[in-house]
C-alpha cells in the first residue's frame, strides 16, 4: 500500500500503573471513514482512545498520524495536529458557559466557528449562556463534540457518544455524526451498543480484554453471528 493511513496504531501496549490494559493493539483509520471500535464495558475501548490521544501513552508500540510518528506526544500537540477527542464521561468544563467551552479551545484556523457548530447542534444555540455543568447528558455530549470540532479536526476520537442517552437523542446524535462524516472528518468510534454502531460505521474492530479480536467491514461483522454472540451479545 502506498497510500498513507490517516491514523495507524501498531502493537501498542498500555498500562495503568502496574496493570496491563492493552495487549498489542493495532488499528488503522483511513481518510473519510468511520471506524467502529466495539467491545463490552471494560474491554479496553476508552484506554485505546486515551492511548492514541496521548493522555495515557502506550508503554510500547507506535502510533502514526498521516505517516508521522506521534507516539509520546502530549495531548495538546496532537489536538493542534488535528485530532479531536471526545471522552466517554464527556468532561465538559462545568464551571464555564456553553459558549466559553467552545471559545477556549485552541483553533488552528477559522474553518469551524461557533456558528457552524450551532448549525450542526441547533440545541446548543439556545443554551449558549448556561453553565455547562447544568446541561443534560445529551446536551453535554453535543457540547463535547462541538468543542472538539472547534479545533478543526481531521480525525475525531468519539468514545461512546450515545452512552446513557435517551433513544430519541441517540437518534439525533447519530444523524449529526453522519453529518460530520460528510464534512470530511474521519471518526474512530468506540461503542458497546452494536445496533447504534452498525448504523454509522464503515469498518469495525472488536476489542475484548485489551486485545483486538476481530477486524473487518460492517458487512463481515453482520454476517459473523459467532463473533457477535461471543464478544457482544449475551
Collapsing DSSP to helix, strand or coil, 213 comes out as: strand
- In whole angstroms, give the CA distance from residue 101 to residue 117: 12
- In whole angstroms, give the CA distance from residue 205 to residue 28: 9
| Candidate list 76, 179, 183, 219; residue touching another protein; CB under 8 A | 76
Cell numbers placing 95: 464551571
Residue nearer to another protein on the CB measure, 4 or 224: 224
For the bound state, the minimum distance from the C-beta of residue 55 to another protein, rounded and expressed in Å, comes to: 6
Give the C-alpha distances (Å, rounded to integers) separating 109 from 149, 163, 186, 229, 232. Answer: 11, 31, 18, 45, 40
Rounded-to-10 torsion of CA 15, 21, 26, 29: -90
| Candidate list 22, 52, 70, 194; residue touching another protein; CB under 8 A | 194
Q: Which stretch binds another protein (CB under 8 A): 2-10, 120-128, 157-165, 179-187?
A: 157-165
Residue nearer to another protein on the CB measure, 162 or 186: 162
Largest CA distance in the chain: 49
**Site membership for another protein, residue 79 (CB under 8 A):** yes
Q: What is the contact surface with another protein in residues (CB under 8 A)?
A: 16-21, 23, 40-42, 53, 55, 74-76, 79-80, 85, 87, 91, 93-96, 100-101, 103-107, 147-148, 150-151, 162-164, 167, 170, 192-196, 209-210, 232-234
Amino acid at each position: 500500500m502506498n497510500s498513507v493511513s490517516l491514523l495507524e496504531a501498531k502493537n501498542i501496549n498500555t498500562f495503568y500503573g502496574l496493570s496491563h490494559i492493552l495487549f498489542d493493539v493495532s488499528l488503522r483509520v483511513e481518510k473519510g471513514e468511520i471506524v467502529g471500535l466495539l467491545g463490552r464495558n471494560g474491554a479496553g475501548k476508552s484506554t485505546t482512545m486515551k492511548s492514541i490521544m496521548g493522555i495515557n501513552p502506550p508503554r510500547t508500540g507506535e502510533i502514526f498520524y498521516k505517516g508521522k510518528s506521534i507516539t509520546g506526544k502530549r495531548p495538546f500537540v496532537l489536538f493542534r495536529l488535528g485530532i479531536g477527542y471526545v471522552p466517554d464521561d464527556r468532561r465538559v468544563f462545568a464551571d464555564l458557559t456553553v459558549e466559553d467551552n467552545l471559545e477556549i479551545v485552541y483553533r488552528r484556523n477559522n474553518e469551524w466557528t461557533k456558528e457552524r457548530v450551532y448549525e450542526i447542534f441547533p440545541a446548543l444555540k439556545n443554551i449558549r449562556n448556561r453553565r455547562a455543568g447544568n446541561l443534560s447528558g445529551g446536551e453535554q455530549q453535543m457540547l463535547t463534540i462541538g468543542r472538539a470540532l472547534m479545533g478543526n479536526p481531521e480525525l475525531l476520537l468519539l468514545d461512546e457518544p450515545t452512552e446513557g442517552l435517551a433513544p430519541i437523542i441517540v437518534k439525533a446524535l447519530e444523524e449529526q455524526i453522519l453529518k460530520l462524516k460528510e464534512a470530511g472528518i474521519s471518526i474512530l468510534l468506540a461503542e458497546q451498543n452494536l445496533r447504534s454502531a452498525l448504523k454509522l460505521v464503515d469498518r469495525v474492530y472488536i476489542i475484548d480484554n485489551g486485545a483486538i479480536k476481530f477486524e473487518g467491514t460492517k458487512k463481515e461483522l453482520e454476517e459473523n453471528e459467532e463473533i457477535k454472540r461471543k464478544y457482544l451479545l449475551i
